[in-house]
């Protein structure tokens, strides 16, 4: 086992152990913090497919995070008020069932990623960064000015959605759901990186011209990666909205995109478990520094600056050395 | 809708576009010359606005406030370039995005620390307040007209600077081949600091001018920053001309879209539905414009091959 694998295992076990301990001593707030870590890490795992594997610096992943959130909000608010989503040409009703909501979120985010990706991937480099950012903002302003689902105020859902056989109102059971999805996404990401698709995508990042000469289209590889990436981030958005029982346009804000990217960098670019380490560090810092100073974001900014300038490998890079698992 | 209202909105769109140009010019220069994407450009806009509000509050002079905005933003820009940005020129865009994102956090929270969370207000001076009557009987705010005039003057000055002066020659040379101009004995790192400070000063000036119309608060820079990105994506990165035309296009589209779209939907919808559909669509209009330009010309209207 390499050092990185040991660290990865320790991270996952740690993410399990903290809420387990909190559950034993009855500290529901700590469980909620751990749930936030799991959900935000899931969003980061999604972005990492585009960013780490595909080299696509998307500064608009809040779009997919928000779409996932609104998928949950819209379905659950209709179920809550017993009004159908749409009656013609066929009847669609709201739902409070998590699996249905997840599927909707995955599908809606994938569709949005297909459209945004198909337009944005016509460009590269700094254009791509700005365009993804702009599309994210477009959805942000749309969600603010569209009055049907709360507009600027957002949507509140009174009771957390249900999952068959589990009581989702119990923090530890909801954590288990989020953790299982995170573990599934990490497994999927590891498989993807080693699959022919992942190898081709990786090659397209390093040398698009060569990939093209062997008959693969870098554009289609990247678009596929962008869609998968957006879909996973959308799923995380649905969970995040369920955790807060609240959706608002802030899920679409560009700061959200920046934060998701920060998780990856704090953890380590190109590391499979980078987002987990990064999200855990971010939430811990937010909790600890946030208690000490109202202006904790200054310290986060300084830390981030130091990591970017002097410690490119992030937390996992510091602990595991320079070898990068899938780079 | 009367023709008068329409012309007034066209002027508002011009004023907005000119402000966006001041932001976009700095961004596009910094990208064109140094190849750097700077998210913290919005923070320099905020620094300018806060410096102007503080000085105007202390001295009561609007011109001193504008000078302070220019000086503070240029100084902040030069400082940031020396301490941080300089290390990023050779890095990839991801590092630049993250480091400048970190700078935004530091600037925003630092400003909140010093000035508090409440917005400050910067008053329009007496000699610029009130309205003027334009030909055709249109009453229009003198201050906004002054912004349009100043912005266009600065645009002309920038074109002159880039195309006619020694500094401009060096900037253009730096864009095309930095190693060659270093070999010719130009101090490239000083040139970079000057370009960055110049961009920062323009952003700071824009912040101070807009600060008198809107309120001066933490986070005011980021929405403008993102619009400036849209502007340079439309205009083509690195092109001052593209930035000017892109800025006017975005300014006019945004202002007129908010006015015309609801009217357009009223033709076949009831009033309240038309207003909400129209305003929701109007908020997305500039991004739709950007998408169309991209499909048509992926490198922007005036962008060369990068």
Does B97 sit within 8 Å of A261, measured CB to CB?
yes
Domain boundaries along the sequence of chain B = 3-218
Overall average pLDDT of the A169-175 stretch: 91
Q: Is the pLDDT of residue A323 over 70?
A: no
pLDDT by position in tens, chain B (length 306): 678 888 888 999 999 999 999 999 989 988 888 888 899 999 999 999 999 999 998 998 899 999 999 999 999 999 999 999 999 988 888 889 889 999 999 999 999 999 988 888 888 888 888 888 887 778 888 899 999 999 999 999 999 998 899 999 888 888 888 788 888 888 888 989 999 999 999 999 999 999 888 889 998 988 899 899 899 889 988 888 899 999 999 999 999 988 888 888 888 888 888 888 888 888 888 988 988 888 788 888 887 644
Residues of chain B positioned with their CB less than 8 A from the CB of A256: none
In a domain, A195, yes or no: yes
Residue A241 belongs to domain spanning: 23-253
In a domain, A286, yes or no: no
Residue A325 is predicted with a pLDDT of 46
CA gap B303, A131 in Å, rounded: 15
Task: Tell which residue, A62, A114, A130, A60, has the closest CA to residue A228.
Answer: A114
Interface list for B 175-234 with A (CB within 8 A): 222, 226, 229-230, 232-233
CA gap B66, B143 in Å, rounded: 14
In a domain, A114, yes or no: yes
Report the residue of A126, A259, A317 to disrupt the B interface, i.e. the one with the largest count of B CBs within 10 Å.
A126
Residues of chain A positioned with their CB less than 8 A from the CB of B299: 123, 127
Residue A65 is predicted with a pLDDT of 97
Overall average pLDDT of the A139-164 stretch: 86
Residues of chain B positioned with their CB less than 8 A from the CB of A47: none
Domain count, chain A: 1
Please tell me which of the candidates A141, A304, A305 has its beta carbon nearest to residue B283. Answer: A141
Compute the nearest-CA separation of A254 from chain B (Å).
9
Q: Is the pLDDT of residue A43 over 50?
A: yes
**Cα separation values, A276 from A12, A44, A45, A316, Å:** 8, 8, 8, 10
Q: Is A91 helix (H, G, I), strand (E, B) or coil?
A: coil
In a domain, A273, yes or no: no
Per the omega criterion (within 30 degrees of 0), is the bond before A89 cis?
Answer: yes
> What are the DSSP calls for B199-240, one per residue?
HHHHHHHHHHHHHTTS-B-TT-HHHHHHHHHHHHHHH-TT-H
Q: What is the pLDDT of residues A304-317, one digit of tens each?
A: 898 888 877 788 88
ipTM of the assembly?
A: 0.85
Residues of chain B positioned with their CB less than 8 A from the CB of A117: none
First to last CA, chain B: 44
Task: Tell which residue, B283, B306, B282, B303, has the closest CA to residue B294.
Answer: B303
Nearest-by-CA chain B residue for A56: B94
Residue A41 is predicted with a pLDDT of 96
Does A295 sit within 8 Å of B113, measured CB to CB?
yes
- B139: which strand partners? B133
In a domain, A306, yes or no: no
In a domain, A322, yes or no: no
C-alpha torsion B200→B202→B204→B205, nearest 10:
160
In a domain, A263, yes or no: no
Does B103 sit within 8 Å of A301, measured CB to CB?
yes
Residue A1 is predicted with a pLDDT of 61
């Amino acid at each position: 086992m390499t050092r990185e694998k040991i660290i990865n295992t320790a991270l996952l076990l740690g993410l399990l152990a903290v809420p387990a301990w909190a559950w034993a001593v009855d500290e529901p707030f700590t469980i909620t913090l751990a749930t936030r870590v799991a959900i935000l890490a899931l969003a980061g795992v999604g972005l990492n497919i585009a960013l780490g594997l595909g080299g696509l610096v998307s500064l608009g992943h809040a779009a997919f995070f928000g779409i996932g959130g609104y998928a949950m909000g819209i379905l659950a608010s209709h179920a809550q008020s017993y009004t159908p989503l749409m009656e013609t040409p066929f009847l669609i009703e709201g739902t409070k069932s998590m699996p249905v909501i997840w599927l909707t979120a995955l599908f809606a985010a994938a569709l949005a990623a297909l459209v945004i990706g198909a337009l944005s991937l016509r460009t590269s480099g700094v254009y791509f960064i700005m365009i993804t950012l702009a599309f994210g903002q477009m959805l942000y302003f749309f969600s603010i000015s569209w009055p049907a689902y709360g507009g600027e105020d957002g949507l509140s859902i009174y009771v957390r959605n249900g999952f068959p056989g589990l009581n989702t109102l119990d923090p530890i059971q909801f954590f288990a759901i989020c953790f299982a999805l995170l573990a599934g996404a990490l497994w999927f990401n590891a498989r993807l990186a080693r699959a022919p698709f992942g190898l081709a995508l990786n090659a397209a990042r390093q040398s698009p011209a060569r990939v093209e000469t062997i008959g693969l289209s870098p554009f289609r590889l990247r678009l596929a990666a962008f869609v998968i990436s957006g879909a996973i981030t959308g799923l995380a958005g649905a969970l995040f909205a369920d955790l807060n029982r609240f959706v608002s346009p802030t899920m679409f804000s560009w700061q959200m995109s920046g934060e998701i990217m920060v998780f990856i960098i704090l953890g380590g670019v190109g590391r499979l478990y980078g987002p987990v380490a990064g999200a855990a560090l971010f939430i811990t810092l937010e909790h600890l520094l946030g208690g000490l100073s109202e202006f904790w974001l200054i310290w986060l900014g300084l830390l981030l600056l130091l990591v970017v300038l002097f410690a490119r490998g992030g937390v996992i890079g510091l602990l595991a050395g320079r070898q990068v698992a899938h780079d | 809708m009367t023709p008068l209202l329409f012309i007034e909105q066209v002027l508002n769109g011009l004023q907005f576009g000119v402000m966006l140009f001041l932001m976009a010019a700095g961004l596009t220069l910094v990208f064109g010359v140094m190849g750097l994407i700077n998210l913290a450009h919005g923070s320099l806009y905020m620094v300018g606005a806060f410096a102007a509000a503080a000085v105007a509050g202390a001295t009561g002079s609007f011109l001193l406030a504008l000078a302070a905005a220019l000086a503070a933003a240029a100084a902040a820009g030069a400082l940031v370039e020396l301490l941080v940005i300089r290390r990023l020129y050779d890095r990839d865009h991801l590092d630049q995005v993250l480091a400048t994102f970190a700078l935004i956090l530091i600037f925003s929270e630092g400003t909140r620390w010093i000035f508090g969370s409440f917005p400050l207000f910067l008053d329009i001076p007496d000699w610029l307040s009130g309205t003027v009557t334009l030909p055709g009987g249109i009453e229009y705010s003198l201050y906004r007209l002054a912004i349009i005039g100043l912005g266009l003057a600065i645009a002309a000055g920038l074109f002159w600077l880039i195309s006619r002066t020694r500094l401009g020659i060096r900037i253009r040379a730096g864009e095309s081949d930095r190693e060659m101009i270093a070999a010719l004995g130009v101090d490239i790192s000083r040139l970079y600091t000057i370009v960055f400070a110049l961009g920062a000063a323009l952003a700071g000036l824009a912040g101070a001018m807009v600060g008198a119309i809107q309120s001066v608060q933490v986070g005011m820079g980021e929405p403008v920053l993102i619009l400036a990105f849209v502007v340079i994506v439309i205009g083509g990165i690195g092109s001052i001309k593209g930035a000017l035309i892109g800025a006017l296009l975005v300014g006019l589209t945004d202002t007129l879209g908010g006015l015309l779209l609801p009217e357009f939907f009223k033709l076949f919808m009831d009033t309240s539905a038309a207003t909400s559909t129209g305003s929701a669509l109007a908020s997305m209009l500039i991004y739709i414009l950007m998408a169309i330009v991209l499909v048509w010309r992926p490198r922007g209207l005036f962008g060369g091959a990068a």
